[in-house]
Amino acid sequence: MEILDLSVIELAEKIKAKELTSEEVVKVYLKQIEDKKKLNAVIEAFDDAIEIARSVDERIAKGEKLGRLAGVPIIIKDNILYEGKIASCASRFLKDYKAQYSSTVVKKLLKEDAIIIGRANMDEFAMGSSTEKSYYGPTLNALDETRVPGGSSGGSASAVAGKLAPCSLGTDTGGSVRQPSSYNGVVGIKPTYGKVSRFGVIAFASSLDQVGPITHNVKDNALLLEILAGNDENDETTLNVEVPNYLSMITGDIKGARIGVCNQVVSLMKDKEHFNSLVEWFKSQGAVIEYVDIPDIELCLPVYYILAPAEATSNLGRFDGVKYSTRAESAENVNEIYRKSRSEGFGEEVKRRIMLGNFVLSSGYFDAYYNKAKKLQQKIKKQFAEAFKKCDVIITPTTFGEAFKLGEITDPVQMYMEDIFTISANIASIPAISIPCGKGKNNMPLGLQILANENEEGKIYNVADYFENNYKESN
């Protein structure tokens, strides 16, 4: 089997068994990155990866006990800090910003002896659904270069689909891991809020952001999440619950599993036929279909576009050209440093959201927008909790359809609509995965989203793994 076709778990086993060296694996992937430069999925490949891989091989040769990802390459989204490496958030503003410390997720990867081989392109500051809003230019869909990879973790998803790495990390604030995973035919999860530490991840909307792994298959994903998850003393919002062994929760059986279908989601779908066939398939496999109501699910989008910009506007205040980030050369006093640096540094979509956030937080509007959105969020959370009394997981499409063409969506609101199916998981703080579920009219992948109640990632992985192994498109 070709190195590029091996899963994370297989790679780790073969490197550990000395059937492969980490060095050769890393070299193969670095060459892929070079060969597929056109995708623009990776902003920078890390030269020191080979050296680190070599030292892993040496330690294996010496018989040392290494981590669970020993020698396995991984790409991280460019908003995740890796000490000494640039973390630009695909923004002009941070194009030269070197991380002064490593994020908790990077530390966890390094502790398992993974090899971080590059940083992935993204929508600037994770604001976007197509990875067209990057200072470094758009990333292309690995399966059709005329199409977008989705976003904002488009680089991370395209990199896995294009086999530039066997796995990657993305971040998901409103669907930024799942929507690109769907568009690229890979597996991506947005964990329960607080499952994975945000320490060292450049914040977009702090109360919604979560790091999630993107992989070729469900088991790899389960392993990676288990490694990334856990309480972190550096992040108060991480949950204080034990991380289960997700792999052991994959039983290969979904008989009797209660699969929820949300009536309000069904009415939003453009193509009900494909989804209905999936529902029928689950039924045929012995699962029980439960129709549930989440009456206000449609309001997740407006709630999101109040809360996320509000937090973002505050989070992005620190990029002011004073301490780090690129200072406008023509600035002559402190107010000009702020005004000019920020005007030059941020792209249009980021500015749009900063404006939006400032508006909803302004005195006189705060109650009407922010507080109302917070109240609705609580209401929606309750509706989900109620729904999960009737079912183990809820299934929805990840997106309306296949990846759209580059430049096809220019209206920002239409772009925001891209998140309609994914955004509820962020609003409700619950986990959700996107896995490939066949192809659409253009022969591009479609994604099935599986949501579960807080801390029920195990249930998601079990259903997702079963689907991955048993579902065959009939048409």
The residues assigned a catalytic role are: 77, 152, 176
CA distances from 201 to 16, 140, 238, 332, 403 (A): 30, 24, 13, 32, 27
Q: Looking at beta carbons only, is 221 or 325 nearer to another protein? A: 325
Residue with tokens 């900063």: 354
**How buried is 277 (Cβ within 10 angstroms: 0-12 exposed, 13-18 middle, 19+ buried)?**
middle
- 361 lies in the site for another protein, by CB under 8 A: yes
Backbone Cα Rg of the chain: 21
Q: Looking at beta carbons only, is 40 or 197 nearer to another protein? A: 197
Whole-number Å distance between alpha carbons of 179 and 161: 13
- 207 lies in the site for another protein, by CB under 8 A: yes
Q: Looking at beta carbons only, is 146 or 237 nearer to another protein? A: 237
Token reading at 371: 């507080």
**Nearest to 229, CA basis, from 45, 457, 42:** 457
Task: Spell out, one character per residue from 173 to 202, where the chain touches another protein: x when CB under 8 A holds, - when not.
Answer: -------------------------xxxxx
Task: Spell out, one character per residue from 23 to 62, where the chain touches another protein: x when CB under 8 A holds, - when not.
Answer: ----------------------------------------
Cβ 236 to another protein shortest distance, Å: 5
- 366 lies in the site for another protein, by CB under 8 A: yes
- 314 lies in the site for another protein, by CB under 8 A: yes
**210, 196 contact by CB (below 8 A):** yes
- 78 lies in the site for another protein, by CB under 8 A: no
Cβ 360 to another protein shortest distance, Å: 9
Whole-number Å distance between alpha carbons of 224 and 210: 14
Which secondary structure element, helix H or strand E, spans residue 375, and what is its range? helix 372-387
Binders of another protein in range 99-118 (CB under 8 A): 99-101, 103
- 322 lies in the site for another protein, by CB under 8 A: yes
Of the residues 311, 349, 419, 468, which one makes contact with another protein according to CB under 8 A: 311
Whole-number Å distance between alpha carbons of 299 and 179: 19
CA distances from 178 to 128, 154, 171, 174, 210 (A): 13, 10, 9, 9, 12
Binding site for another protein (CB under 8 A): 81, 87, 89, 94, 97, 99-101, 103, 198-203, 205-207, 233-237, 310-311, 313-314, 317-320, 322-324, 334, 338, 358, 361-363, 366, 370
